[in-house]
Amino acid sequence: MRKTIIAGNWKMNHLGADAKETIQGLVAKVPQDVKPEVIIAPVFPYLSMAVEMTKGTPIHVAAQNMHWEEKGAFTGEVSPAMLVDIGVTHVILGHSERRTYFNETDETVNKKTKAALAHNLTPIVCCGETLEQREQGIMQSWIEGQIEKALEGLKAEDVKKVVIAYEPIWAIGTGKTASAAQAEEVCAIIRKKLAALYDAATAEDVSILYGGSVKGGNVAELTGSADIDGGLVGGASLKADDFLAIINNAVVK
């Protein structure tokens, strides 16, 4: 059965004191029996601190990126084994900002997804279209292509361990939010593509998140949709109270 997941992507925000304050606020108020799976993704320098502070709590820690190789001459990169070594459990892969600014491709996302799974990290694989692609009527083929390439070579039992995040690029950090109907339409397309690539049972087991200006006020409508299983939250995850409102208002199926 797929999980309802609320994941906070902090992006390049929060110095140590700010990160500590946010984590303390979450640890104090997220109950042990919280219904959605809760994930935070601080920047690399504070991952160890986040892992230590969340020990014994239901809060998981994710990295925002990683390399696919185990080790080597890759200056500035971090390997999956290094993330596992400090207690990280999830990793965000293929975020549109990584694709736009740092030359991430469907092929590198595929390599990273395979490496994450090989190290028992849960990959949160991102996909999404620009406003131009949506207006050109190629949204569906674009999204399906991203999914097919990201999962190329994976077996059904592997895909069931993957989380997919749909993030319309035109709604990230813009204050614009896809309507619940728009988000559901694309998440349903993703699930149908998974069924076509694998089978219906596998598709039903994969959690699909929506990312794009998710807030406490719209998360219930979004997660109440048939194929939206949570949120990949940006700015609203930086303050504990804002993130808690999203966690508390999410609809758990």
Active-site annotation, residues: 95, 167
Binding residues for substrate: 9-11, 173, 213, 234-235
How many CA atoms does the CB half-sphere of 122 hold within 13 Å? 22
Binding residues: 9-11, 173, 213, 234-235
Q: Residues with Cβ < 8 Å from 48, sequence gap 6 or more? A: 86, 87
Give yes or no for a contact between 62 and 43, defined as CB atoms under 8 angstroms apart.
Answer: no
Alpha helices, DSSP H only, in the chain?
16-29, 47-54, 80-85, 96-101, 106-118, 131-135, 139-150, 156-159, 180-197, 200-205, 219-223, 240-249
State how far the Cα of 211 lies from the Cα of 167, in Å rounded to an integer: 4
Return the sign of the alpha-carbon dihedral for residues 31, 32, 36, 38.
positive
Give yes or no for a contact between 14 and 46, defined as CB atoms under 8 angstroms apart.
Answer: yes
Give yes or no for a contact between 107 and 149, defined as CB atoms under 8 angstroms apart.
Answer: yes
* Core vs surface per residue 72-83: b (16+ CB within 10 A) or e: eeeeeebbbebb
